[in-house]
């Protein structure tokens, strides 16, 4: 029997008009962080599962900015996030 872990990586970008869908996906995925395993916990090569939500500017030639980060065993780890509604439209 193969003892290797199962790793799931997802990187999806949504149009600003589909924010509701992006939020729904985030809410569906967050509970799975509770079941995910920490690899080499507390060691220098620790790998901690995470969920990042970013404001992506690649289509319009600007840098991305992180809005949320949820880490396995730590919960939400970024406190200085501006809510999307306060940041203005990405096309401004």
Evaluate whether residue 24 is within a structural domain: yes
Evaluate whether residue 33 is within a structural domain: yes
pLDDT, residue 78, reads: 72
pLDDT, residue 1, reads: 58
Supply the range of the domain harboring residue 52. 16-87
**DSSP reduced 3-state for 65:** strand
Closest CA to 5 of 47, 51, 45, 50: 47
Question: What's the pTM?
Answer: 0.68
Evaluate whether residue 78 is within a structural domain: yes
Evaluate whether residue 74 is within a structural domain: yes
Q: What is the mean pLDDT of each successive set of 10 residues along the chain, which is 92 residues long?
A: 83 92 92 86 89 89 88 77 44 40
pLDDT, residue 28, reads: 93
Evaluate whether residue 62 is within a structural domain: yes
Domain total of the chain? 1
pLDDT, residue 89, reads: 45
Evaluate whether residue 26 is within a structural domain: yes
**DSSP reduced 3-state for 27:** helix
Evaluate whether residue 51 is within a structural domain: yes
């Amino acid at each position: 029997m193969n003892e290797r872990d199962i790793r799931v990586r997802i990187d999806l970008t949504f149009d600003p008009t589909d924010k509701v869908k992006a939020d729904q996906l985030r809410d569906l995925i967050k509970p799975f962080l509770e079941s995910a395993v920490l690899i080499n916990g507390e060691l220098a090569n620790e790998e901690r599962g995470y969920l990042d939500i970013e404001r992506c500017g690649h289509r319009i030639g600007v840098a991305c900015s992180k809005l949320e980060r949820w880490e396995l065993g730590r919960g939400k780890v970024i406190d200085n996030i501006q809510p999307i509604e306060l940041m203005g439209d990405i096309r401004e």
